[in-house]
Chain A
Amino acid sequence: MGNSRRSFLKVAGITALGIGTKPVLDVFASSGGHGVEPKPEVSKNVEVFTAKRWGMVIDTRKFHSAEDLDPIIEACHKIHNVPEIPEPRHKIMWIWEDEYKHVFTHREHELINDRIKHLPFLVLCNHCEKPACVRACPTKATFKRDDGIVLMDFHRCIGCRFCMAACPYGSRSFNFRDPRPFIKEENKEFPTRMKGVVEKCNFCAERLAVGKLPACVEASNGAIVVGDLDDPESEIRDLLSSNYTIRRKPDLGAGPSVFYIV
């Protein structure tokens, strides 16, 4: 914990420094004619969160009821302009909650203890090591980055929904209609989508790129941790080695990167 806290503060500090120096650089850039080239790479100063292989641990012991999860879901959906469509068939979900027996379909048994039976679990894209959706996509509109994050190119997606059939976790949503009228408060920093394309959790790639933690992590009061699965020193690896964790449908071999402490 201390380790990631330190690195987070470091990042925050450098980020602040970056923002602090920007006006100065802008002056240089606009002064012109004095041999000072404009520096478009100002953002270089902004430290980003990087990892060799991103992963997530959800400590479900820290959740007790659906009310604990709602702020997390809301934070994600608000930041990413996820519409609230009343018609259930057309629902868009990046992160949502469900019961144990639905989330861990292969582990369910009738004698499971009451806490687990009634505990709501968070469900989201697993950012698989071998994503079936990426394999199925005929246009590379969905792709896996080198750091393990599975992303969508909303402008390339043809809306064939092959990825939705391929995903064994039901993590993808399709815009069956124009989502924009159903966005309560638009976040101008993140694109809205048009009808006819698929979308899903993007691991807050846009936030990691500017040194911010994923929205769900921020809203979780420490119950959700993201980090580098390839770094033995990382907090996430510490959590994984000190707790028993499970993943959804590991038998399918997709290699989900979301782990649950139960």
Chain B
Amino acid sequence: MLELALKGDKKYWGLVIALLTFIGIGFVVYLKQLDFGLGITGMSRDVSWGFYIAQFTFLVGVAAGGVMVVLPKYLHDYKAFGRITILGEFLAIAAVTMCLLFIIADLGQPMRAFNVILYPTPGSVLFWDMIVLNGYLLLNVVIGWNVLEAERNNIHYAKWVKPLIITSIIWAPAIHTVTAFLYCGLPGRGFWLTAILAPRFLASAFAAGPALLILLCLIIRKFTKFDPGKEQIQSLAKIVTYAIIINVFFLLCEVFVVFYSRIPSHMSHLQYLFAGLHGHGALVPWMWTSMALMATSIVLLVIPTARKNECILAFACVILFIGTWIDKGMGMISGGFVPNPLHHVTEYMPTLPEILITLGVYATGLLVLTILFKVAVGVKEEVSGVKDSCESC
């Protein structure tokens, strides 16, 4: 089926070349990082995880979000989603690919990465994260490819694929739960030390993932002959609406517990993020922007007439995606490190090389997504073409 990715118009190849350019730039800067060390980033002794790990965390959510089209289709037999499950699965593949690349980019000694397998340590959550992420990638590659190939050949997919699909549905929340456990089990980090972290991660994942999927569906409809469908988009929109409301609700639960209990080691991080601490407040405008974007998206999504208008829906999805990205991709990780365990404030901002490497990884993920979606849409167009000709004869 990959041959479908080799035939495309000028716009397609333009996109591929643009992405390859970003990948190239990111790779060159990564070589520099490999040579110099992680010192070219903005990370420090106090903020020892930065942009890479934050993007990784956000994208695990996007990957898990893909299950929101797979689950209704296979567990509730919601047939409408059958049209777009492949998009959810392929989005998951692209997102997990980026996650793995971000982890590699973040390692001080990437050539020793296999030590995680060589000296397996089940007591470490990172060990399990390695397993669930690679497992989820493999599941989605096998399932996506087989189901799409079956669709192309106009047959039902093989029987052994079904158990894998069920597994992948359970697996999706697992990847984001384990990712949350990376943070929420650490004794000295009050910001993350909360049982609501994994549920919060999942809620924002099930908002951001499907929101991105809606946008991708609209793009596909605009640029190809395949229409993912109005009903599909509206069903996704309802999922996004519930998820973003739950996400904000969980956040407010956290805010209540932290500020009503007034335990300083828990309060100080939220204070830093939303009000600034000891004169440091680089993230304050970002965090309030994030809140405003999420709140606005809720208003737009909750009103049925607004949600049903695809232009407004697209706008709501864009601001929701940006809002959740700021929340997780900027605040969630460095917020946990500021102040540090000795209550010193060292701020963190990514450096230009760090941003270029990040863009390179995003471009890689988008390239994977572009190629996979090209294949998927190609098959969809082919199949509908066959159907059309049958109907005519």
Interface residues of A (CB under 8 A from B): 87-93, 98, 101-103, 105-106, 123, 132, 135-141, 156-162, 164-170, 173-178, 194-198, 249, 252-254
Instruction: With both chains docked as a complex, state the minimum distance between the C-beta of B160 and any C-beta of chain A, in angstroms.
Output: 32
Q: Which of B36, B45, B127, B340 contacts A138 (CB 8 A)?
A: B127
Tell me if A102 and B343 are in contact (CB < 8 A): yes
Interface residues of A, dominant DSSP = loop
Segment 15-30 of B: residues with Cβ below 8 Å from A: none
How far does the Cβ of A108 sit from chain B's closest Cβ, in whole Å?
A: 9
Known: A123-B342, A139-B121, A159-B38. 13 other contacts (CB 8 A): A101-B343, A102-B343, A105-B265, A136-B124, A136-B125, A136-B126, A160-B106, A165-B189, A169-B188, A169-B342, A175-B108, A178-B37, A195-B108
Identify which of A123, A137, A138, A178 contacts B130 (C-beta below 8 A): A138
Chain B residue with Cβ nearest A91? B45
* Nearest B-chain residue to A130, judged by Cβ: B187
Please count the residue pairs between chain A and chain B whose beta carbons lie under 8 angstroms apart in the complex.
150
Query: Which chain B positions have C-beta within 8 A of A254?
Result: 187
**What residues on A are CB-neighbors of B43 within 8 Å?**
89, 176
Q: Are B341 and A162 in contact (CB under 8 A)?
A: no
- Do A132 and B188 have beta carbons less than 8 Å apart? yes
Evaluate contact between B119 and A105: CB separation under 8 angstroms. Answer: no
In the bound complex, do residue A168 and residue B38 qualify as a contact, i.e. CB atoms below 8 Å apart? no
- The answer to whether B187 touches A173 (Cβ under 8 A) is no
B182 sits at the interface (CB 8 A) = yes
User: How far does the Cβ of B322 sit from chain A's closest Cβ, in whole Å?
Assistant: 26
- Binding-face segment, B109-117, B209-217, B243-251, B312-320: B109-117
* Chain A residues within an 8 Å CB radius of B346: 88-89
Q: Chain B residues near A164: list those with CB within 8 A.
A: 45, 48
A selection of 7 A-B contacts at a CB cut-off of 8 Å is A89-B43, A90-B44, A164-B45, A164-B48, A168-B341, A175-B37, A195-B108
The 3 tightest CB contacts between A and B, nearest first, are: A159-B108, A168-B188, A196-B108
Question: Do most interface residues of chain B lie in helix, strand or loop, or is the interface mixed?
Answer: loop
Contact yes or no, B108 A166, CB < 8 A = no
Using A138-B124, A158-B113, A254-B187 as known contacts, say yes or no to A170 and B341 having CB atoms under 8 A apart. yes
Once A138-B124, A139-B116 are accepted as A-B contacts, the answer to whether A197 and B342 lie under 8 Å apart by CB is no
Closest to B183 in A: A165
Within 8 Å by CB of A165, from B107, B186, B342, lies: B186
> A165's closest neighbor in chain B, by CB?
B186
CB neighbours (8 Å) of B342 from chain A are 98, 102-103, 105, 123, 169-170
Please report the total number of B residues contacting A with Cβ < 8 Å: 46
Q: Given known contacts A132-B187, A138-B130, A162-B126, is B343 in contact with A156 (CB within 8 Å)?
A: no
Whether A196 and B37, one on each chain, are in contact in the complex, defined by CB atoms closer than 8 angstroms, is yes
Is B304 interfacial (CB 8 A cutoff)?
A: no
**Which positions in B face A, CB cutoff 8 Å?**
36-39, 41-46, 48-49, 103, 106-110, 112-113, 115-116, 118-119, 121, 123-127, 130, 182-183, 186-189, 265, 336-337, 340-344, 346
CA distance A168 to B190 in the complex (A): 10
Residue of A141, A196, A249 contacting most chain B CB atoms (<10 Å): A196
Report whether A162 and B182 are in contact in the complex, using a CB–CB cutoff of 8 Å: yes
A161's partner among B49, B123, B130 (CB-CB below 8 A) is: B49
> How far in angstroms is the closest Cβ of chain B from A214?
22
With contact pairs A105-B265, A166-B186 given, residues A141 and B115 touching in the complex (Cβ less than 8 Å)? yes
Separation of A229 and B125 alpha carbons in the complex (Å): 31
B39 contacts A252, C-beta separation under 8 Å: no
Cα of A135 to Cα of B147 in the assembled complex, Å: 41
Residue from A92, A137, A168, A173 within 8 A of B121 (CB atoms): A137
CB distance from A173 to the nearest CB of B (A): 6
B49, B109, B187, B340: the one contacting A197 at CB < 8 Å is B109
Residues of A within 8 A of B125 (CB): 136, 162
Q: Contact at A132–B186, with CB atoms within 8 Å?
A: yes
What residues of A have a CB within 8 angstroms of the CB of B106 in the complex? 160-161
Q: Which residues of B contact A166 (CB under 8 A)?
A: 186-188
B108, B119, B187, B341: the one contacting A174 at CB < 8 Å is: B108
> Which residues of B lie under 8 Å from residue A173 when comparing CB positions?
45
Q: Nearest Cβ in chain A — how far from B68, in angstroms? A: 30
Taking a contact as CB atoms under 8 Å apart, the answer to whether B38 and A196 are in contact is yes
Shortest C-beta distance, B114 to chain A (Å), equals: 9
| Given known A102-B343, A159-B108, contact A89–B119 (CB-CB < 8 A) | no
